[in-house]
Amino acid sequence: MYRIVKAEKLAEKIFLMDVEAPRVAKACQPGEFVIVKIDEKGERIPLTICDFDRKNGTVTIVFQIVGASTQRMAGLHAGDAFQDFVGPLGQPSDFVKEDFSLVKGRKYLFVAGGVGTAPVYPQVKWMREHGIQADVIVGAKTKDLLILEHEMEKEAENLYITTDDGSYGRKGMVTEVLRDLVEKEGKQYDICVAIGPVIMMKFVCLLTKELGLPTIVSMNPVMVDGTGMCGACRLSVGGQVKFACVDGPEFDGHLVDFDEAMKRQQIYKTEEGRAMLRLTEGDSHHGGCGHCG
């Protein structure tokens, strides 16, 4: 069992938990994720790692209520426990694996949307710990849905807040701030990392492609087993079939087929839709998720 040592509500339907998982905390890196399960009958829920404390053996997760399983998770408190806490899974962020002399010579811009702020945070924190300055744009629908502002403020070189309704920070979308930084303020960046709703990442990538700014995105499609066996998290990246759980979750945003990803997510929710995916994807459709027959 994996004991919850801290449980906190960050915003409406958004929760943070610190969980005792020493082996995961010892090995995890920014960009990776875990799969949690409350009990024997619980759903396997993939969550990107928000933070970790190797000394105390804890991993921080942030989740939003989107269904019955996450609603049950929201009811857990400090002292309760998860039956399973599997990880780290996926590939760490590229900058963790690259030659550090190359990484430190770049200027990074991070763009976070909604709950995507949680997986952006450990990346910006890693940058600060390694002496690399990074600018961060955080977007939310309203001020009440903004999370981790103060934590991010401590790690970012410059933090730009924007809300759709103008209730806090700048009014508008993250793409508007990004364009202003580059075109009006003359900011120069070498790499953009965008994490948030798929539609947000799509439009960030359309803009950064126009600006000639390489962009990494973190994809979070439906996952079941998290080991590449089921094929539920299939994506098209540069015309090739990839699986977010083992090949990602981070990919070159200018190569991701976002329209296909969004369409596939909707289709996968119905039995008829899964049957259609099985038919159209042929031999490359793993079908090991337990839902496709």
pLDDT tens for residues 267-282?
Answer: 555 444 444 445 455 5
Tell me where in the chain the CATH 3.40.50.80 domain(s) lie. Answer: 99-218
SS3 call for 5: strand
Q: Higher model confidence: residue 221 or residue 127?
A: 127
Per CATH, is 2-89 categorized as 2.40.30.10? yes
Name beta bridge partners: 36.
45, 85
N residues, the chain: 293
Judged by average pLDDT, the poorest of 18-32, 56-70, 216-230 is 216-230
The H-or-E segment that residue 86 falls in is strand 84-89
Strand 108-113 and strand 134-140: the pairing is parallel
Tell me where in the chain the CATH 2.40.30.10 domain(s) lie. Answer: 2-89
Per-residue pLDDT at 131: 94
Q: Higher model confidence: residue 160 or residue 284?
A: 160
pTM: 0.86
SS3 call for 218: strand
Query: What CATH number should be reported for the domain whose range is 99-218?
Result: 3.40.50.80
CA distance 130 to 11: 30
pLDDT tens for residues 29-55?
Answer: 999 999 999 988 888 888 989 999 999
Q: Give rounded-to-5 percent helix, strand, coil for the chain.
A: 35, 30, 35
Token pair recorded at residue 226: 């998290």
pLDDT tens for residues 242-262?
Answer: 888 888 899 999 999 999 888
Q: Answer yes or no: are the C-beta atoms of 24 and 89 closer than 8 Å.
A: no
Quickly count: other Cβ atoms within 10 Å of residue 261's Cβ. 21
Q: Is the pLDDT of residue 155 over 80?
A: yes
Quickly count: other Cβ atoms within 10 Å of residue 224's Cβ. 20
Per-residue pLDDT at 224: 63
